[in-house]
């Protein structure tokens, strides 16, 4: 059991490093925002895993209000939150998205939180920030 935990830890670290390397030279293009964050995507990172599924790296730069909200809902370790990097998949035909990985970074570039797993698919809500990403990637 301990061996399995070590292997999973190594895999997660590898995914984090690979993910960071993937977006190191990113050219972030603005696609929307709200009171909590400004949202960007890396157009050069868009890949197609099938006819209807696109993968893209996304960055959210958190505003002061967004940081306060994160601290309120997620805890004090988010006090120095700077930005988040997501690897998103978009089903262009079904108009749905989900996250493959998510990393929160502090003001010094340190990792606050790392999540590498496939989340549930969610429908793109009309007039949302996510719809802005959908339009950039799929239309």
pLDDT exceeds cutoff 90 at 110? yes
- The pTM score is 0.79
What average pLDDT does the structure give for the chain? Answer: 86
CATH 2.40.128 fits domain 2-138: yes
Q: What is the pLDDT of residues 9-53, one digit of tens each?
A: 434 444 444 444 445 568 999 999 999 999 999 999 999 999 999
> With pLDDT > 90 as the criterion, what percentage of the chain qualifies?
76
Domain spans of the chain, in order of start: 2-138
> Mean pLDDT, to the nearest integer, of 75-102?
96
Residue 3 clears pLDDT 60, i.e. is over it: no
Nearest 10 degrees: Cα torsion 24, 36, 109, 112: -110
């Amino acid at each position: 059991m301990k061996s399995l935990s070590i292997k999973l830890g190594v895999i997660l670290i590898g995914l984090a490093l690979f993910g960071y390397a993937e977006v190191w030279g990113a050219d972030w293009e603005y696609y929307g925002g709200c009171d909590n964050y400004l949202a960007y995507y890396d157009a050069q990172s868009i890949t197609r895993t099938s006819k209807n599924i696109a993968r893209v790296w996304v960055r959210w730069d958190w505003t002061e209000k967004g940081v306060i909200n994160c601290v309120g809902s997620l805890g004090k370790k988010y006090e120095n939150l700077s930005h988040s990097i997501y690897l998103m998949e978009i089903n262009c035909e079904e108009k749905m998205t989900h996250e493959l990985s998510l990393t929160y970074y502090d003001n010094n570039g340190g990792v606050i939180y790392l999540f590498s797993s496939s989340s549930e698919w969610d429908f793109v809500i009309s007039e949302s920030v996510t719809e802005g990403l959908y339009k950039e990637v799929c239309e």
